[in-house]
Amino acid sequence: MGEKVVAAGFDLSDRQRHRGKLRQCLEGLSRLLEDKCFDRPKNLMGLEIELNLAGADGAPRMMNAEVLERIASRDFQTELGQFNLEVNIVPHRLRGRVLDRLAEELGTGLAYADRRAQEIGAGIVMIGILPTLAAQDLVPGNLSDVDRYMRLNDEMVAARGENFTIDIDGVERLTCTSRSIAPESACTSVQLHLQVTPGRFAAVWNAAQAIAAAQIVVGANSPFLFGRELWRESRPPLFVQSTDTRPPELKAQGVRPRTWFGERWITDAFDLFEENVRYFPPLLPICGDQDPMRVLDAGGVPSLQELVLHNGTVYRWNRPVYDVADGVPHLRVENRVLPAGPTVTDVMANTAFYYGLVRALAEETRPVWARLPFAVAADNFEAACRHGIDAALRWPRRGRGAGGTGLVQVPAVQLVREELLPLAAAGLDAWGVEPADRDRYLGIIEERCRRRINGASWQAATYHEALTAGLERDAALAATTRRYCELARTGEPVHTWPVGTGY
């Protein structure tokens, strides 16, 4: 969100003015789209990773302010919880040896940050949900001391009017309540940005939605929360519930949650921004002085700051982004599906799979979303989150004799290996990515599917081995986390890790 949020509260006039400014922003965005004011294609990608801080015992460390002071780099920023950081990589062009260059930059930066953090008893952990987190860690007092997080928490709690309820029924069941949005901070992700022209935006967003389930199948890394084994990727249900500003009455009426897969394929970028304004009340009604229409009339480019801020409080798994760089507006698709980790190599494999696959599917003459009902894509996403690498997905049949729009249910690893990986390879070729990079990183996805191992399955197998060896639940989770951190620092991809705590 990046905005400086004042500590003072909001009154009725603030909210009324903000609604008016949102309408002006939508009008300004519509005009920009009609006048074709957006940046030419540059094939730019961006990468953000949310991180955890943990000590040598595997337990979380609430000290991001101290760690950031030691790192002293603008690439690292605070995040919602005091045990969270975020690293941002500058945009790169999708071509040549970009994947290896990103891996080197990210590996160097994270290794440096990890060394500095360990000087004061913490370490950097890339993982979807830290297995050692306890309910008492995720309380208001452990939110980062930043105005925007405090204000966002206050507004979401006020909108809900009661405690947040977490109820996830997986391998085991977890039920608890929270009086703040602090449980959201347990969810640490990789965010992949792709700058696109308005004309290509809908196809790229639809493709990203269609493959969200496949991303989770190969990349799941969040099987535990508060000492319970839940879904293989527990971030999505936790994020939905920990940001759910709807009291039960509004849920019963079918009001949409702020963390949202969506409900339809789109035909235009404007659709998503307009839906965000139409469906979701503003949480932070902060108004700037800029009049978007006056700026446009004067030949300028408006920041649309109210729309940008509001858009940042609606948590789509594929979020539309409007931004201005060097005085020129552009649009991005922000993919928020993947959990962090386990290693830089794994992150780059997930990155290659996404960018290659989304390019190939967005350019198909008969796109997959013309044959895949949106509700099925949403069901696939849930199935992937529940079962990870062992999920089965419904997908359009291939070939002339496939019966039109008929769907088949297929093991997800089979779908990835036989259909999606060749498409991802073709997409990376279309970007101009070096074949050696393409083969290396997509080969990691192939091996995960062949061995049926990803971060979540490794964590679960190691945890159960620790239980079998006689450790109690909390000790087994701590041992699993310590071993995860040890192996992650080797940089070797997770499908090569030996199962077991090694102790």
Q: What is the 3-state secondary structure (H, E, C) of 294-338?
A: HHHHCCCCCCCHHHHHHHCCCEECEEEEEEEECCEEEEEEEECCC
Please give the Cα distance from 50 to 70 (Å, whole number).
18
∠ Cα 88 90 96 (to 5°): 125
Please give the Cα distance from 146 to 133 (Å, whole number).
22
Please give the Cα distance from 353 to 374 (Å, whole number).
22
Please give the Cα distance from 428 to 348 (Å, whole number).
13
- In 3D space, the residue among 182, 344, 315 whose CA is nearest the CA of residue 256 turns out to be 315
pLDDT (0 to 100) of residue 386: 98
Q: Which helix (H) or strand (E) holds 3?
A: none
Residue 177, beta-bridge partner list: 165
Quote the tokens at residue 282. Answer: 């503003």
Quote the tokens at residue 303. Answer: 């920041």
Please give the Cα distance from 410 to 408 (Å, whole number).
6
Please give the Cα distance from 95 to 92 (Å, whole number).
9
pLDDT tens digits in sequence order for the chain, 503 residues long: 344 444 456 778 888 899 999 999 999 999 999 999 998 888 999 999 999 999 999 999 999 999 999 999 999 999 999 999 999 999 999 999 999 999 999 999 999 999 999 999 999 999 999 999 999 999 999 999 888 899 999 999 999 999 999 999 999 999 999 999 999 999 999 999 999 999 999 999 999 999 999 999 999 999 999 999 999 999 999 999 999 999 989 999 999 999 999 999 999 999 999 999 999 999 988 899 999 999 999 999 999 999 999 999 999 999 999 999 999 999 999 999 999 999 999 999 999 999 999 999 999 999 999 999 999 999 999 999 999 999 999 999 876 444 445 899 999 999 999 999 999 999 999 999 999 999 999 999 999 999 999 999 999 999 999 999 999 999 999 999 999 999 999 999 999 999 999 86
Check: pTM over 0.75? Answer yes or no.
yes
- In 3D space, the residue among 189, 180, 90 whose CA is nearest the CA of residue 135 turns out to be 180
CA dihedral 481, 87, 424, 271 (to 10 degrees): 120
pLDDT (0 to 100) of residue 14: 83
- Tokens 């002293």 label which residue? 72
pLDDT (0 to 100) of residue 333: 98
Please give the backbone phi and psi of residue 103, each rounded to the nearest 5 degrees, phi first. -60, -40
Secondary structure E strands in 244-313? 259-260
In sequence order, the 6+-apart residues with CB closer than 8 A to the CB of 12 are: none
pLDDT (0 to 100) of residue 4: 44
Please give the Cα distance from 144 to 64 (Å, whole number).
8
Please give the Cα distance from 17 to 19 (Å, whole number).
5
pLDDT (0 to 100) of residue 502: 82
Angle, nearest 10°, between helix axes 344-362 and 421-431? 80
- In 3D space, the residue among 432, 431, 395 whose CA is nearest the CA of residue 412 turns out to be 395
Please give the Cα distance from 8 to 462 (Å, whole number).
48
Please give the Cα distance from 8 to 84 (Å, whole number).
25
Angle, nearest 10°, between helix axes 198-210 and 269-279? 70
Quote the tokens at residue 415. Answer: 């779908």
For residue 290, the number of C-alpha atoms closer than 13 Å in the C-beta half-sphere is: 17
CB 358 within 8 A of CB 430: no
Please give the Cα distance from 69 to 72 (Å, whole number).
5
CA-to-CA separations, 93 to 44, 101, 194, in angstroms, rounded: 5, 11, 10
Alpha-helical runs (H) found in 404-434:
412-415, 421-431
Q: Is 363 exposed, middle or buried (0-12, 13-18, 19+ CB in 10 A)?
A: middle
pLDDT (0 to 100) of residue 467: 97
pLDDT (0 to 100) of residue 391: 98
In sequence order, the 6+-apart residues with CB closer than 8 A to the CB of 46 are: 88, 89, 90, 91, 92, 192, 193, 194, 195, 332
- In 3D space, the residue among 37, 94, 47 whose CA is nearest the CA of residue 324 turns out to be 37
Please give the Cα distance from 293 to 412 (Å, whole number).
48
